Structures are given as structure tokens and as C-alpha cells.
Amino acid sequence: MSSHAHGAHAAHAMEAPTGFIRKYIFSVDHKVIGIQYFLLALTAVLVGIVLSVLMRLHLVWPNMHLPFVPGGLMTQEQYLSLVTMHGTIMVFFVLTTAPQGGFGNYFLPIQIGAPDMAFPRLNMLSFWVTFLAFIAILAAFVVPGGAPISGWTGYTPLSGLGEVTGPGEGWGQTMWIISISLFCLASLLGALNFIATLIDMRAPGMSLFRMPLTCWGWFVTAILGLLAFGVLLAGGILLLLDRSAGTSFFIPAGLVVNDQIQPHSGGSPLLWQHLFWFFGHPEVYIAILPGMGVASHVLSTFARKPVFGYRAMAMAMCAIGFLGFMVWGHHMFVSGMSPYSGFAFSVLTMSIGVPSAIKTFNWLGTLWGGKIQFTTPMLFAIGFVSLFVSGGLSGLFLAQPAVDNLLHATYYVVAHFHLVMGVAAIFGIFAATYFWFPKMFGRMMNEPLGKVHFWFTFVGAYCIFMPMHWVGIAGGIRRYADASAVQYLQPLQPVHQFMSIAAFVTATAQILFLINFFWSLKSGPKASKNPWNATTLEWITDSPPPHDNFGGHFPSVYRGPYDFSVPGVKEDFVPQNLPPQDVKREKE
């Protein structure tokens, strides 16, 4: 497909919309949709942070009257509903929304030289279904019985029998299932779009191995999403049927809850776990892979050096994605699943450490010998690597079932996944935001404010989550509303106090980001096309880009994405679209 014919076709399909509604609300422009996803994630993360602050307040000051809590003093079930909603909102509406739906939507087409996604109307549908899903999860707070208490993992039978197992398990759990199911649907549609776009709409010269690593990240993530979300959707439907249609996919016979024998038989609680985690494990790679792509991209740009081992990085992402489908049982070592499967899952899980280690060494290699410029996006990218190492290594303990006997369901697990998801992946989002803000909004963010935001968040994150490992090793159990019933938990309270205070300070520091973001939208200095002297295609067009991304001048690509400091070349960067004859050489 020649670029001219493609461009003409695209131009016909992509007439710029007029009117406020078509331009900003029901838009088919991937750039608008990307920003909509980003703003949705921003709203969700603020809700999620409030929930976690309430949790941390309750854990150290259980007798404090709290805002937002009906009745003032938090009850056990209110705490558990916070746990459930915090996890659900953060994992789905922040970590699966901003990196892929937000930045992926905005920048995948531009980085590959395309005018839009393959299916712009499907793209718009994906966003609005995600938006509906967000409304549905928020609705869980206000329906009769309140929000569910079964955790973001929703294990059955706790989640499968209705209100009889606990408060929030009636309408709240139903809204949870509806929300997640809508989210799955939207994500499946999005994944299709990403894959079709990436395979079919790359500019001339943009071979797969000339794509920026950000695109590789979005690519592997989309494949994971396509294969995993369907399973959760199926599981959600089966759970809904168990709760309302008298089926028993997940409920065995003879259960007695509150002295009532439950009218179910033949089902398996472990089946839910298998379905959930078959989705759940790829899901966490969906959360981190785009961030890995961004980290590589930003590290290279501000070290003024090619990514060390570009091909290995791309292949490592594919390996992580592939292996990510084979390890779900490591969440189920003590579940009653066959211990032989446990051993198999363990070996596979330890193997995932290998491509992750390769990526870590290559990030270090990218920095090594560089000319490092400590802009805000660079600080967050370096922070990403540090946090990913810390969080990833604790996974090695959890991957071994013998050690898992001690650490399963303790705060060690909570520390692990927060470091990799709740901080490293978030740092990926921050790095992306500070890096691409000039391109998206045509203005620069404030550098000093950005740096202060980084220092507070980096130190704060380590202060919150490193001590959490120690609580876990000592036997601190997760999802406990309070420690009063267990004697051995009492000496751990000072650590909880330290973590809570660190959490309050870190949460407050995020205000610096909000101020910077919204102030810069209006009053930041105007941005040029390429303020960072970067090499990839998004930096050859205006900030912000025109409706068709390139103003009719669709680029061709002549080289890979990270040609920085090439020997013999005058500038320390060579854009991908610059023909070889136009590259200015150094005088002899």
C-alpha cells in the first residue's frame, strides 16, 4: 500500500470535525480519545488515592472519625470495601487505562507515521464503554449494601452467594461484576484496534525492528489484552449467573452460611481462581509493559545514546508477554491446587525473572557511557528502573512455593505488587506525562516543580513500601481491618505508623503535579516541535499535532528509533524520517 494512496484514503476518512461535541466529546480522533482516557485515569487515581489514605488512617488511628465514611468510625466491612475498591479502581482504571488507552492511543499512530488508528469509531466506542464501566464501579459505593468486600480478586464463594456472606456482597458485588465486564469488552475492542493499526498502518520504512520500544510495549500489551480479557469476561458472566440465575459454576454443595444451607451444588471455587488469575497475571504485565517501553524511550533520549540491546529489549518484552500466560498458578500455591502444578508454575515464574533481568541490565547499559540530562521525565524513568528492580526481586521469593508458605497473603505480597505496579508503573505514567505533555498540549510543564514532585514521590514511595516487606516477613496479614485480635501483630504497629505518615506526605505531594499539569495547560511556555531533540516521528510534527497528525506530509522512515550521538554526525540525534543524504556530517 503506497503512502500516497494510503494518505489519500486516510484524508478522506479523516475530515476534521466541527462543533464542540464532535471535536471534544464524541470524537473519533485518537488524540482526543487518548486525552479522554488520560483524564479518566487521572480522576480514577485521585479516587484511588483517597481510598488508600482512608485505609492508612484507619490502620493507625482506628478510633478517628473520618470524612467520607458513613457513620464516622470505620467498620470492618467498610475497611474491606475500601480495600476492594482501591484495588479495582487502581488496577483497571488507572494502570490499564493511562499507559495503553491514554498514551498508546495518542502516540502509537503518530510514532508509526499513521493518521489515526485503524478503526477510529471502534476507538471512540472503547473509550465510552470504559467510561460507563467507571460509572458502574463508582455506583457500587452508593447502591444498597455498599461496595463489595471480596477484594479486587473477588474470590468465590464470598463473592458468589450474595448478601448472605457479608455487607456489600449484594448489589455492590453485582455492580463490580458489571463494571469489570464492561471494562473487559472495551479493552478487547481496544486491543483489536492497536494490533490492526500496528500491523497494517506503519509508514514506509518503518519495519517492526525500527519501531520505538514504546510501540513494542503497546503491541505486546495489546496481544496480552486480546487473549486475557475474554477469560475474565467469561468468568464475570459465570459469576453473575451463579449469583442470579441459580447456576453453580463456582459453588460446591452443602455450604452453610449463617445457618442456611445454600441451594447450589457441583461447582468449584478453584475454577474462579483459575479463570481470574489466567487473566490476572497477564493483566499485571499489561500494567507494566507500556511503562517499560516508555522507560527505554526516555532513558535513551536523555542519555543521548541508543537503547542498549534494542532487539533484546523487544524480544524480552515478547518473552515476558508469552511467559506471562503460563504462571498464573503462582497466586494459588496454597489454594488446594495440586502441589505438582505448584512446582511447574514455580519454575515458569522464576523464568520470567530472566527477560526482566535482561531489560534491567540493558537499561543500565543505556545509561552507561551516556551524557545524562536530568530532566523531569528522565528522573522518573531512572526512578522506574530503581523501583522495578526493588519490586521485581521480591517476586523471586513469592515464586517459590516453599517460601510462599510463609509469605502468602502477608504484607510482603502487598509490598511486592505496590512497588512494581503502584509505583514503578505509575513512574512510567509520570515519565510519559512529563515527556509528552509538550507534544500533546503545545506547552512546557514547569521543570523545577516537576523535579520537586519527583523527589518527594521517589523518597515517599520507598518509605511507604520498603518497610512493608518487613511487616510481611514478621507475619503481618493483608486485608486486616485492624490488628487487635492477634497478639504477635502488636509490635508491628510502629512500622504501620511510619508507612502511614509517609503515605500522607507522598499523597499530598501529588498536588504539586496537579498544579503543574493544569497551570501549564493554560500558562506554560509554548513548546516547539521538538523540545527534547528526540528522534521519533511524533517530534517532527507540530505541538500539538494537526488533525491528521502530519499536515498531509506523511513521513517515510530511514533508520531505527534511537540514533543518538552517532559518530561522524554533526548533531547528537538523527530523526527517523531524515533521508541519509540530508544527515549533516561532521567536517573532517
Partner 1 sequence: MRIKKSESGSAASAALLALLQVTMVVVTVYIFAAKLYSPPAPITDIGRAVDEQYSLTLWVTAVVFVLSQLGIAYAVWRFRDHGQRAHFSRGNNTMEFIWTTATIILFLGLGILGRRAWAEVRFTPPAADAVQVEVTENQFVFNFRYPGPDGKFGRLDPKQISASTGNPLGIDSKDPAGKDDIVVPTLTVPVNRQVELHVTSQDVIHNIFVRELRLQQDAVPGLVVPIHFTAEKIGQYEIVCTQLCGLGHSRMHSYLNVVSDADYQAFLKSGGQ
Which lies closer to partner 1 via its Cβ, residue 84 or residue 549?
84
Interaction residues for partner 1, span 162-191 (CB under 8 A):
165-167
E strand or H helix that includes residue 530: none
CA atoms in the 13 A half-sphere facing the CB of 411: 23
Per-residue binding string, partner 1, 488-507, x by CB under 8 A, is x---x--x------------
Interaction residues for partner 1, span 131-160 (CB under 8 A):
149-151, 155-158
Residue 262 and residue 212 in contact, taking contact as beta carbons nearer than 8 Å: no
- Out of 335, 452, 544, 546, point to the residue binding partner 1 (CB under 8 A): 335
- Out of 64, 142, 209, 373, point to the residue binding partner 1 (CB under 8 A): 373
Which lies closer to partner 1 via its Cβ, residue 371 or residue 553?
371
Closest separation in Å from C-beta 287 to partner 1: 21
According to the binding rule CB under 8 A, does residue 241 interact with partner 1?
A: no
Interaction residues for partner 1, span 407-446 (CB under 8 A):
408-410, 444
- Out of 162, 217, 236, 269, point to the residue binding partner 1 (CB under 8 A): 269
Residue 354 and residue 317 in contact, taking contact as beta carbons nearer than 8 Å: no
- Out of 8, 200, 369, 556, point to the residue binding partner 1 (CB under 8 A): 369
* Region of 16-24, 172-180, 224-232, 366-374 interacting with partner 1 (CB under 8 A): 366-374
Interaction residues for partner 1, span 271-300 (CB under 8 A):
none
Q: What is the dihedral sign for C-alpha 450, 510, 477, 64?
A: positive
Residue 436 and residue 375 in contact, taking contact as beta carbons nearer than 8 Å: no
Q: Count of residues binding partner 1 (CB under 8 A)? A: 126
Closest separation in Å from C-beta 129 to partner 1: 29
Measured distance CA(439)–CA(116) in Å, rounded:
16
Interaction residues for partner 1, span 62-101 (CB under 8 A):
75-77, 80
At which residue does the C-alpha cell 462543533 appear?
A: 19
Measured distance CA(226)–CA(310) in Å, rounded:
25
Which lies closer to partner 1 via its Cβ, residue 449 or residue 477?
477
- Out of 532, 539, 550, 558, point to the residue binding partner 1 (CB under 8 A): 532
CA distances from 98 to 214, 291, 504, 548 (A): 14, 10, 23, 22
- Out of 122, 141, 565, 571, point to the residue binding partner 1 (CB under 8 A): 565
Closest separation in Å from C-beta 527 to partner 1: 7
Which lies closer to partner 1 via its Cβ, residue 165 or residue 179?
165
According to the binding rule CB under 8 A, does residue 371 interact with partner 1?
A: yes
φ and ψ at 273, to 5 degrees?
-60, -45
- Out of 274, 305, 439, 453, point to the residue binding partner 1 (CB under 8 A): 305
User: How deeply is 478 buried, as exposed, middle or buried, from its count of CB atoms within 10 A (0-12, 13-18, 19+)?
Assistant: middle
- Out of 64, 199, 354, 514, point to the residue binding partner 1 (CB under 8 A): 354
Per-residue binding string, partner 1, 461-490, x by CB under 8 A, is -x---x--xxx-xxx-xxxxxxxxxxxx--
According to the binding rule CB under 8 A, does residue 399 interact with partner 1?
A: yes
Which lies closer to partner 1 via its Cβ, residue 69 or residue 270?
270
- Out of 309, 329, 450, 545, point to the residue binding partner 1 (CB under 8 A): 309
- Out of 255, 326, 429, 431, point to the residue binding partner 1 (CB under 8 A): 255
Q: Return all residues near 514 (Cβ < 8 A) that are at least 6 apart.
A: none
Measured distance CA(62)–CA(423) in Å, rounded:
26
Nearest Cα residue to 283 out of 421, 419, 175, 442: 421
527: left (phi over 0), alpha (psi -120 to 50) or beta: beta
Residue 88 and residue 180 in contact, taking contact as beta carbons nearer than 8 Å: yes
Nearest Cα residue to 169 out of 258, 261, 81: 81
- Out of 14, 226, 393, 505, point to the residue binding partner 1 (CB under 8 A): 393
Closest separation in Å from C-beta 368 to partner 1: 6
User: Which DSSP string do the residues of 412-456 spell out, in sequence order?
Assistant: HHHHHHIIIIIIIIHHHHHHHHHHHHHHHHSBPPPHHHHHHHHHH
Residue 73 and residue 141 in contact, taking contact as beta carbons nearer than 8 Å: no
